[in-house]
């Protein structure tokens, strides 16, 4: 039976990270995205097979813990996993009091997010497999090797994408044709095993290639 997972977060890039995590734990799940609390409540109400809600505590339209309370009231039997940048010893306790089943910091790595999702939905883990942290480290090492194998031009294109540049800007800045930029992006996405430039930027940022820092 197909299950639906609602990802409610107003940051598109972070939603992509959550989509990647859900896809690894629940590969057959149908994912619904929402960028506001109103959209999240509507999506929750419309989904008859909702298995999990992943919620940003500070969603547009939410005051305090109202987002948790609203979605819990809408779907009282559906687990809510809160992922937030909010800090403080009482935040997790308050989130659980309003109906959340789990709480994670937005600083958590992909492995920790996957482990939390697996725990919430009861996804089985093979007994002889490495831990989620070990799996994530192995995956990151593999991606680092792929990045190290990029050509100089491909690396420049990837860094430009991370900097938010469009293909036309990248082509102008590197003195190459826009079609060549697209060809490089196709090669980069294949090497990094991602589906689009947003995910490619997410991977680059996770490796510490962020030009902003």
In a domain, 54, yes or no: yes
In a domain, 50, yes or no: yes
Q: Count Cα neighbours of 20 within 13 Å in the Cβ-side half-sphere.
A: 24
In this prediction the pTM is 0.59
- Percent of the chain exceeding pLDDT 90 equals 24
Report which DSSP code applies to 4.
E
Its sign, for the CA torsion 46, 25, 83, 34, is negative
On whether both 34 and 114 belong to a single domain, the answer is yes
Q: Secondary structure of the chain: what % helix, strand, coil (to 5)?
A: 55, 10, 35
Same domain, 35 and 68: yes
146 in the same domain as 96? no
Domain CATH for 136? 1.10.10.10
Q: Which of 121, 155, 188 is the last residue of a domain?
A: 121
34-47 tens-digit pLDDT:
999 889 989 998 98
Give yes or no: residues 12 and 113 share one domain.
yes
Q: Are residues 85 and 189 in the same domain?
A: no
Using a CB cutoff of 8 Å and minimum separation of 24, what contacts does 178-187 make? 181/157, 184/153, 184/154, 184/157, 185/157, 185/161, 187/154
Are 49 and 93 contained in the same domain? yes
Residue 102 has pLDDT above 70, yes or no: yes
Residue 211 belongs to a domain: no
State residue 142's pLDDT score. Answer: 72
CA 133 – CA 31 distance, rounded (Å)? 24
129-177 residue pLDDT tens: 444 444 556 666 677 777 777 787 888 898 888 888 999 999 999 999 9
Same domain, yes or no: 52 and 90: yes
Q: Which helix (H) or strand (E) holds 16?
A: helix 12-25
Residues 80 and 144 in one domain: no
Domain end position, chosen among 68, 100, 121: 121
The arrangement of strands across the sheet holding 102-105 comes to: 30-34, 4-8, 50-55, 80-84, 102-105
> How far is residue 162's CA from residue 156's CA, in Å, rounded to a whole number?
10
Residue 124 has pLDDT above 70, yes or no: no
Range of the domain at 30: 4-121
Same-domain pairing of 152 and 111: no
Q: Residues 32, 108: one domain?
A: yes
32 in a structural domain: yes
Q: Do both 153 and 104 map to the same domain?
A: no
Q: Is there a single domain that holds both residue 58 and residue 96? A: yes
Give how many domains the chain has, as a whole number: 2
Asked if 36 and 61 touch (Cβ cutoff 8 Å), the reply is yes
- 38 compared with 124, residue with greater pLDDT: 38
Does the residue 191 lie in any domain? yes
The answer, yes or no, to whether residue 19 has pLDDT greater than 80, is yes
Structure-token pair, residue 58: 């500070």
């Amino acid at each position: 039976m197909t299950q639906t997972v609602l990802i409610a977060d107003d940051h598109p890039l972070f939603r992509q990270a959550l989509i990647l995590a859900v896809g690894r734990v629940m590969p057959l799940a149908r994912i619904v995205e929402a960028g506001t609390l109103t959209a999240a409540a509507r999506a929750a109400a419309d989904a008859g097979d909702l298995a999990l809600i992943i919620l940003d505590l500070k969603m547009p339209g939410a005051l305090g813990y109202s987002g948790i309370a609203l979605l819990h009231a809408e779907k009282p039997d559906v687990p809510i996993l809160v992922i937030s940048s909010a800090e403080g010893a009482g935040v997790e306790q308050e989130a659980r009091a309003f109906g959340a089943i789990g709480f994670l910091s937005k600083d958590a790595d992909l492995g920790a997010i996957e482990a939390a999702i697996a725990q919430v939905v009861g996804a089985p883990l093979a007994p002889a497999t490495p831990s989620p942290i070990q799996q994530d480290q192995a995956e990151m090492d593999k991606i680092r090797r792929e990045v190290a194998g990029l050509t100089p031009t491909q690396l420049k294109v990837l860094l430009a994408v991370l900097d938010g540049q469009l293909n036309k800007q990248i082509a102008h800045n590197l003195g190459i044709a826009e079609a060549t930029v697209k060809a490089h992006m196709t090669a980069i996405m294949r090497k990094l095993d991602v589906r689009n430039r947003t995910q490619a930027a997410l991977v680059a940022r996770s490796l510490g290639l962020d030009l902003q820092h």
